[in-house]
Amino acid sequence: MKVTMRDVAREAGVAVSTVSLVVNNREGVSDELRAKVLKAVEKLGYRPNRIARSLKTDRSHVLGLIIPDITNPFFPLLVRGVTDTASTYGYSILLANSDGKVEEERKYLNVFADTKVDGIIFTTSVKFKDNLQLLQELPIPKVVLDRYLGPFNIPTVTADNITGGYLAVKHLLECGSRRILIISGPQGYPSSMDRLTGYKRALDEHGIAVDPDLIEYGDFTLAGGQKAISAVLDRGLDFDGVFAANDLMALGVLVELAAREIPVPEKVQVVGYDDIPSANLFQPALTTIRQPAYEIGHEAVRTLIRAIHHRDRTPPAKILVPELIVRKSTRAAE
Amino acid sequence: MKVTMRDVAREAGVAVSTVSLVVNNREGVSDELRAKVLKAVEKLGYRPNRIARSLKTDRSHVLGLIIPDITNPFFPLLVRGVTDTASTYGYSILLANSDGKVEEERKYLNVFADTKVDGIIFTTSVKFKDNLQLLQELPIPKVVLDRYLGPFNIPTVTADNITGGYLAVKHLLECGSRRILIISGPQGYPSSMDRLTGYKRALDEHGIAVDPDLIEYGDFTLAGGQKAISAVLDRGLDFDGVFAANDLMALGVLVELAAREIPVPEKVQVVGYDDIPSANLFQPALTTIRQPAYEIGHEAVRTLIRAIHHRDRTPPAKILVPELIVRKSTRAAE
DNA sequence: TTGAAAGCGCTAACAG
DNA sequence: CTGTTAGCGCTTTCAA
């Protein structure tokens, strides 16, 4: 039933060590013996047991990936970048959804460590600090996404959120908006704080003072975006542009604006962030900042594999560049 | 650095077997010794090595999941159903995207088998037959999604596609459409063939003859749906309803109809399939057949785990029920 | 170039 | 209730 190296060795009339060499395509076996072994492998239908190999070599060729939620449309493409690249290098991917909960992150971090994955790709949560220590203690190569962690000696792959926020608001400004509402992500979430910084920088550059009333905090969901804009509207606040820190919230804004029959982009212009697939489907199509999600996943794996092979090197911080995608929720530049 | 059971045993002054019992929360250890062991575990920071455990017990507590493409909006929710449920039972998930390619499926099937996953959840491709034999040969519990494979003795979880197609077309009929175009999935893809069967059944029931000119085949992508409807329109064919075999194609239809200024639902009514998140975002919001994606994933894991524990039982075929979601791309029933 | 043997960390008889 | 020990299937010195 279950055929092992020993069986192959017996069948081929050689030692197990020889079979091992052949199976792993290594030097030092005569062509004759190699052929014999291969024939035996074929005949018996031998398949190497990776678990046993892992136990011996301390390499599983499995990588762990922890994201908040695959159901958030930003992540599928990132995951695809991870799985494709991993596959290229001969690695498999263990996937876990944390919902951004500290305990869940902790749980999967531990499970992955015990499973002896060769590396972990980790997307942070709000209260990430709580797990920073655990992350540092785990004696496993890792890379953190969407957050700069250089000082903690953990490699990082992220798109430049400050530039992204800056690009979004600059575009709004250039298209004529003057009072720009930002619906930021949750406070303390670094990527959304960075986008807020970009927002301020753009205003600053255009000589416009930052109005605290125009800074609202959402939760990265569509409903949250809708609720946030609704609250602002009810407060009777005046604004002619909205920068939402992600597309889901921007879509919520668009939905609410449509419900109240406020024309976009004529009266209010809207820019989102991420460029999720629906952004282009909605009416009006959403102007947004595209994050290179696939590439983030791709770079994460490359960085991780590099870390696996040279455990000593200085952790790199790879910063990718976001891009403005102009569609119909903003007017043309003046 | 690396602490093993042996170290814990030495620290606690007991035998390794005792440590094993304690670590696995098993009976037969005095409270006193148990406490001692636990203290040693704590002190040394011992973590059991799952690889070693797997080698011994022949159970990895890992499940393999093969889907065509996580980037297809139907799958994230399904995957979530799988990971959530797996996690509940203490299993991790290895994820692979096959793009529906036979060789990729084969590759991951083999990788998973060698990795000694405890079970495999497999979503079929068009030319699935090529891998059927491999699937049957793998001595691993498995469950196949979206396809009835009862005769081959492989458990199955699927939503009833015939009923789904029937529901969609019946709704169109009840809302006044008479000449209904179907944009089916690729030929030979069983789930889309089933939806076509449902289409025919509904027409039949309403005494309407099936017109072969009104059967078009798409490729399950948005661009494909757009292209298909475009071709039909260019052919000057007359129709007042469209049933697209998935939402992506339905969205393509809606996009093209909008481009040609054909009013939906006034002139043409449209129904999709899947109920992906964008379906509700598009204008007009898409009437569709909801597949219980999360539940499919959930049931797949439950079925698989049952199979893992009773290897001998008759493979069940769990058939879930799709549901009509009425939105704005169809008129109200008359 | 080939073979014998030790051992990765754990579990599970088995004996005491 | 506790301890000793033989492997799980593989890789890898080390000797021949």
Q: Strand C: which positions are within 7 A of a protein CB?
A: 1-5, 7-14
CA distance readout (Å), A127 to A74, A86, A123, A189, B125: 20, 28, 12, 8, 41
Strand partners, B181: B242
CA distance A94 to B92: 7
Cβ-based contacts of B115 with chain A (< 8 Å): 50-51, 62, 92
**Which window residues (1-20, chain A) lie with Cβ within 7 Å of strand D?**
2, 4-6, 16-17, 20
Grouping H, G, I as helix, E, B as strand and the rest as coil, residue B125 is coil
Q: Distance between alpha carbon A320 and the CA centroid of its chain, in Å? A: 12
Nearest nt to the B28 alpha carbon by C1': D1
CA distance A55 to A57: 6
| Per-residue flag: B26 CB under 7 A of strand D | no
Alpha helices, DSSP H, located in A175-221: 190-205
Sign of torsion, CA B311 B314 B315 B317? negative
Contact A236, A298 (CB under 8 A): no
Residue A117 has pLDDT above 90, yes or no: yes
Numbered residues of chain B with Cβ closer than 8 Å to any chain A Cβ:
1, 47-52, 54-55, 60, 62, 69-71, 73, 75-77, 79-80, 83-84, 87, 92-97, 110-116, 139, 251, 255, 277-278, 281-283
* Residue B217: per-residue pLDDT: 94
A91 three-class SS: coil
pTM as predicted: 0.94
Block residue for tokens 């469209």: B242
| Region A293-308 average pLDDT | 95
B306: buried, middle or exposed (CB in 10 Å: 19+, 13-18, 0-12)?
A: middle
List all residues 6 or more positions away from B122 whose beta carbon is below 8 Å from its beta carbon. Answer: B66, B105, B109, B135, B142, B143, B144, B145
The alpha-carbon gap from B197 to the nearest alpha carbon of chain A, in Å, equals 30
Nearest C-alpha neighbor of B289 from the set B206, B191, B145: B191
Helix (H) or strand (E) holding A291: none
Single-letter code of the amino acid located at B165: G
Terminal Cα distance for chain B, rounded: 75
A63 pLDDT tier (thresholds 50, 70, 90): very high
Alpha-carbon distances of A334 from A175, A240, B246, rounded to whole Å: 6, 15, 41
Res B314: pLDDT: 67
Cross-chain Cβ contact B52/A48 below 8 Å: no
What is the model's pLDDT at position A313? 66
Sign of CA dihedral B189, B194, B197, B198: negative
Q: What gap in Å lies between CA B210 and CA B310, rounded to an integer? A: 46
Average pLDDT over residues A260-285: 95
A114-CA/C5-C1' distance, Å: 29
- List per-residue pLDDT tens for chain B, 334 residues long: 689 999 999 999 998 999 999 999 888 888 888 999 999 999 999 999 999 999 999 999 999 999 999 999 999 999 999 999 999 999 999 999 999 888 999 999 999 999 999 999 998 765 556 677 778 888 899 999 987 665 677 888 999 999 999 999 999 999 999 999 999 998 877 888 899 999 999 999 999 999 999 999 999 999 999 999 999 999 999 999 999 999 999 999 999 999 999 999 999 999 999 999 999 988 899 999 999 999 999 999 999 999 998 765 667 788 999 999 999 999 977 6
Strand ranges in A165-310 using DSSP code E only, listed in sequence order: 180-184, 215-217, 241-244, 269-274, 287-290
Q: How far is it, in rounded angstroms, from Cα A183 to Cα B312?
A: 56
CA dihedral B233, B253, B186, B243 (to 10 degrees): -90
Q: What residues in A contact B55, CB-CB < 8 Å?
A: 49, 51-52, 55
Q: Considering only CB atoms, which chain B residues are within 8 Å of A92?
A: 94, 96, 111-112, 115
Q: Specify the pLDDT at position B27.
A: 82
Angle at CA A125, nearest 5°, toward A123 and A129?
Answer: 110
